[in-house]
Structure 1
Amino acid sequence: MKKLLLYISILLLPVAAKAQGSIVSKHDTVRFELVQNKIIIPATLDGRATRFIIDTGGRNLITGDSAEYHNVEVTARQLISDVNSGSASMFSARAKELQLGPGIHLEAVPMLVAPPNNFFRELGVAGLLGSEAFSKVCLTIDKRAGHIVMSYPYRPRGLPKDDAMDIPPHKHWHPYIPIRIGGQEIHMLFDTGMDGFLNLTGSDFRKLADNPFLSIDNEGYGFLNVGIGGIDAAQPEKIELVRVAGMSFAGKCFENVVATSQKLGGNSIIGIGLLDYGRLVLDYPRAKIYFLPYEAGPTDLGEVTRIWNVKIMPIADHFEITAVFGDLGVELGDRVWAIGEIQLEGAELSELYINRLLGKCTGDICQITVGVDKDNLRVVTIRKL
C-alpha cells in the first residue's frame, strides 16, 4: 500500500540539478525561530513576506499553494527519489527573487513544488531552503545565539584555518562531513532537516560491523520515514537500534550515541542535534566546513538520543504504527486511536503533533490505544529504548 505523502525534506534525494541564482549583497545576520527542532527563518519571496525551513540536506522546495500565492512560475517536472527508494514526479519552479533578511538577495531561485500538507501548514512556512540556496555564501549556524550569519564573498574573521575540513563536491551542495568511529572514517550528510543526532544506512552499518565501538541494542522492523513514494507495509525493512560507544567530529567526542540503522536511499545522516554542541560554519564557495564546540571534552548522549519502541506517523487520514521494536502486541499498520487520554480521531495529521504528545508522557513509558476499528481497541504500553 503506497500513499503519496511528504513530511520532511530529508526524504528528498534528488535526481536532477539546476544552477543557483546570483547573490548581490555582502553580509547579513538573520535570527531564526526553532520550532519542533526545525530552523525557520523569515524571508521575502517575490515581494511578499513568508518563512522557510533551513534544510541543509534537502532541496529548495515550495508548496503548491504557496507557489500560487507568491506567483512563482511553475515549469517542468523532475523525477525525485526518496529515503525509502520510492520515487515520484514533481513540478519544478523558479522564484524571481528571494530575500533573506535585509541584505541577502537570491535571484532566479530554482525550487521543487510539493503538494500542500499539514507539516508545512502547522509550521507556517512556504517550504524549504536547501544547501543549493546558499551555494555562494558562507553560512554560520549558531543555535545558542539563535541566528544564522551569511557572509559573502569572504568567510567570517577569526576562523582557525587549520581546523577547516573539506566538503566533497555534490551537485546540490549537500555537506558531507567526516565522522570518525573507532579508527574508521565515514562521510555523513549533515542534515538540519533530520531530527535527532545519527542515522546509519545499512551499507555504513555493514562497514562498521567489526568495529568495537558499535553494538546492537535492539532490532525492529518497519519504516522510520514516509517518503514521497509512501511506504509498502507488505515489505517492511529490518531496523537495528545500535549504540556507538564513541565517535568524533572536528576533535569533539560524543559517547553512548543511540542510533538507528535501516536501508536508506542515500548516506548516513548527522542531524540537527549536532548544533546543540557547537557552532557550525558551512563555507560553500570554498567547500570547507568548521565546527566550533561550545564546550571542550567528551559529551555523553546516552539519554538524549533514546527513542520510543514504536514509530507513529500519519498515513492517509489517520495515524498508524510504522515501525516496531520487540514484541509489544502491536503490528505494523495498526491504527493508533489515542496517546494517553488524547484521542487522535479528527486530529491534525502531523508527525509534529505526535511528537508533542509523546513528549508529555511521564518518564520512559506511555500508553497508546490501537485497533483495526473502534470495536476492537486495546491499550498497549510503549517504552523508551
Structure 2
Amino acid sequence: MKVIYRIIIIWLFCMVVLPVAAQQYRTVLPYRMVGGKMVVEMEMNGTPRSFIFDTGGRTALTGEVCEELGLVVVDSLVATDVNSKKAAYPIVAIESLLTPDKKINFTNVPAMKLPEPSPFACFQADGLIGSDLLARTIVVIDGKAKTITITSAENPSTVSLRKMIPFVKAGMPIISLQAGAGNNITCLFDTGSPSFFSLKDTDFDVLRSAGAFDILSEGYGEGSIGVAGMADADVSHRVRFPLLSVGSTRFRNVSSETSTPPFTLLGVELLDYGKVTLDYPRARFYFEAYEPENDLESKHYNLGLRVKDGELVVATVWSAMKGQVEVGDKVTRINGKPVGRYDFCESIINGIPELKAKKKTKLTIQTQQGEKVIVYQKE
C-alpha cells in the first residue's frame, strides 16, 4: 500500500536567514529516510531535535514544541499547503539552529508555528527545514551516501554547466523539464514529496492536449494530507509519460497521479538516479545522473487503501474497481483472515504487512450492498 502524506508546500518567503560562522563554511549533514521523508538532526536552542528536510517547504515547527519552549509569536504568514489551501500561520523565532558538527549556526530563524496535533508526529520530527533557511548556501544532496552537504556560496558549484537547469524563480528550486518532444513543464524539486513525479491537475489538462502522456486509469478518492487538512475527494488520473527529461537525462515510462499542489512535483525518488546540487544564490539546479537514461516502468494497485480510526478503508477507487467498491468501504478480511486494528503512523512508515506478502491479495470488503470479495493487485 502506498500512502501519500505530504506536509506543506510554500511559495511565499518572508526573509533570508544567515548562518553565523566564518566567512567560508561547510558541513555534511547525514539524513535517514522515514516513511519517504528525509529526516536530519539539528540542535535547536541547545537541544537535539529531528527535522524533515524539505526543499519544497518553509522552515516550520510543531505547535507542541513551540509551547514546550515558550516561543513567542512575532509575525504571521499566509502559506499554501500541498492541496493548494491557503491559511495564515503564526511566525516564531528560533534563537539558534546548529548543525551536529557545530560548523554552522543559523540564528534568529523565523519558523511557522503549525497547528496541533503535529503533522510531523508519524515521523517523530519536531519541525521542517525548508528552502528559506538555505537561501545563501549551496546544497549538495547525495542519495547514495545519504548526506546533505551545505557550503557557503562565494564561488559557484564546480559541477559542469551542461548539467545545470536554471530556477524559474529565485529562492526555490522550481525548474523546467521536458515531457516528450517540445512540451515544457514547470515543476518544483520537492524532497518532501515521496514519489518520483506528481502531476498538477492543471498541467495534466495542458499536456493531455499535447499528447505528452498516456492515460492509464481514472480514479476517485481522497487527496493527500496537508497542514490545512485532507483534500476533498475528487477525480484523479494515473498517467504514464513515455519520456520525461531532466536536463540531458532521460526517464522513460514515468508514472504519475494527478493532484492539486501549487506546482507539479519532482520528488525525493529523483535521488535514486543521481546527485542534486542546489545553488540558491545563483538560482541553479544541477543533476549529476548515474546513468544517462532510466526506465521507470512499473505497475500500480487497483485500489488505494489507508488507515482511518484503526480500520483499513478504501481511499481511492481506480477504473478496474469502479462500481465494485466505494471510497470509505471497510476491509474486514485479508486472504480470509479477519483484520485487526492498525496504527495510522505505522501504516505510513512501514505499510500493512498482510498486503506485502503476495502479488495478489483477496480482500473482503464491507460495502453498502453487503460484503464483496475482490482481488487487490497491481495492473
TM-score by length of 2: 0.86
- 8 Å Cα contact 1:338-1:369 kept in structure 2: yes
Aligned to 1:148: 148
Is residue 179 from structure 1 mapped to residue 177 from structure 2 by the alignment?
Answer: yes
Q: 1:134 offset after TM fit, Å?
A: 0.8
1:88-103 alignment runs, 5 A limit: 88-102=87-101, 103=103
Cα deviation code 1:176-226 (max 9, x no counterpart) = 122111221112111111111111112212221243441111111123413
How far apart, CA to CA, are the structure 1 residues paired with 2:334 and 2:175? 38
Distance apart, 1:293 and its partner CA: 0.7
Structure 1 position 339, deviation (Å): 5.6
Contact 2:311 2:341 in 1 (8 A): yes
Q: How far apart are 1:60 and its partner, in Å?
A: 1.3
Partner of 1:322: 315
Q: Identical aligned pairs, as a percentage?
A: 26
Corresponding position of 1:206:
205
Using a 3 Å threshold, how does the CA distance of structure 1 residues 228 and 334 change in structure 2: closer, same or farther?
farther
* Kept in 1: contact 2:62–2:118 (CA 8 A): no
The range that moved more, 41-50 or 320-329, is: 320-329
Q: Corresponding residue for 2:281?
A: 285
- Counterpart CA distance in 2 for 1:346 and 1:112 is 31
Displacement, 1:157? 5.7
Quote how far apart the aligned CAs of 1:23 are: 0.9
Q: Structure 2 matches for 1:67-82, cutoff 5 A?
A: 67-82=66-81
Match of 2:237 in 1: 240
CA contact (8 A) 1:139 1:282 kept: yes
Give the C-alpha shift of residue 22 in structure 1: 1.6
- Call closer, same or farther: CA 1:137–1:215 in 2, change over 3 Å: same
Q: In the TM superposition, what is the alpha-carbon distance from 1:362 to its structure 2 partner?
A: 1.7
Q: Which segment drifts farther, 26-35 or 44-53? A: 26-35
Q: Which runs of 5+ in 1 are unaligned?
A: 1-5
Whether 1:270 and 2:271 are equivalent positions in the alignment is no
Over residues 253-278 of structure 1, what are the superposed CA-to-partner deviations in whole Å (9 max), with x where a residue is unaligned? 0001111124x141111111111000
Change (3 A) 1:116 1:317: farther
Q: Answer yes or no: is the 8 Å Cα contact 2:361–2:375 preserved in 1.
A: yes
224-233 or 43-52, which deviates more: 224-233
Q: Match of 2:27, as an amino acid? A: D
Q: Distance in 1 between matches of 2:266 and 2:148?
A: 19
Deviations 1:40-78 (A, max 9, x none): 111001110011111111121211222233443334444
Give the partner amino acid of 1:68.
E
Residue 311 to residue 229, structure 1, CA distance change in 2 (3 Å)? farther
CA contact (8 A) 1:312 1:354 kept: no
Q: For 1:65 and 1:370, locate their aligned partners in 2 and report how far apart those are by CA, in whole Å.
A: 38
Q: C-alpha deviations, 1:339-383, integer Å up to 9, x for none?
A: 6658353524555157353762322x334454379xx65543222
Q: Indicate yes or no: 2:258 matched with 1:261.
A: yes
Is 2:158 aligned against 1:158?
yes
Aligned partners of 1:273, 1:54: CA distance in 2, in Å?
A: 14
- Residues 334-349 of structure 1 aligned to structure 2 (within 5 Å): 334-336=329-331, 343-345=339-341, 347-349=343-345
Paired AA for residue 220 in structure 1: G
> Which residue in 2 is equivalent to 1:3?
none
Residue 109 of structure 2 is aligned to residue 109 of structure 1 = yes
Cα deviation, 1:115-165, whole Å, max 9, x if unaligned, reads 455763332211211111111110000000111110102457631134322
Q: 1:384: how far off?
A: 1.8
Q: Which amino acid aligns with 2:234?
A: E
Find the counterpart in structure 2 of residue 53 from structure 1. 52
**Offset of 1:290 from its aligned partner?**
0.5
RMSD: 2.9
User: Could you tell me how far apart the structure 1 residues matched to 2:245 and 2:338 are?
Assistant: 41
Given that residues 310 and 341 in structure 2 are in contact (C-alpha distance below 8 angstroms), is that contact kept between their aligned partners in structure 1? no
Classify the secondary structure of the residue corresponding to 2:327: coil
Rate the CA distance shift 1:30–1:85 in 2: closer, same or farther, 3 A. closer
SS of 1:122's equivalent? helix
Contact 2:244–2:250 (CA under 8 A) maintained in structure 1: yes
User: d(CA) in 1 for partners of 2:343 and 2:211?
Assistant: 45
Deviation at 1:289, TM superposition (A): 0.9
SS of 1:208's partner is helix
1:196 and 1:273 in contact (8 A); partners too: yes
Cα distance in 1 for residues equivalent to 2:112 and 2:340: 31
Structure 2: segments with no counterpart, 5+ residues: none
> Residues 283 and 323 (structure 1 numbering): CA distance in 2 closer, same or farther, change over 3 Å?
same
2:223·2:230 contact (CA, 8 Å) conserved in 1?
Answer: no
2:362 touches 2:373 (CA, 8 Å); kept in 1? Answer: yes
Structure 2: how far apart are the matches of 1:76 and 1:135? 20
* Contact 2:312 2:342 (C-alpha < 8 Å) held by counterparts: no
| Distance in structure 2 (CA, Å) of the matches to 1:369 and 1:354 | 22
Task: Measure, in 2, the Cα distance between the counterparts of 1:359 and 1:23.
Answer: 46
Q: How far apart, in 2, do the equivalents of 1:347 and 1:164 lie?
A: 43
Q: Which deviates more from structure 2 when the two are superposed, residues 353-362 or residues 54-63?
A: 353-362
Cα distance in 2 for residues equivalent to 1:126 and 1:339: 35
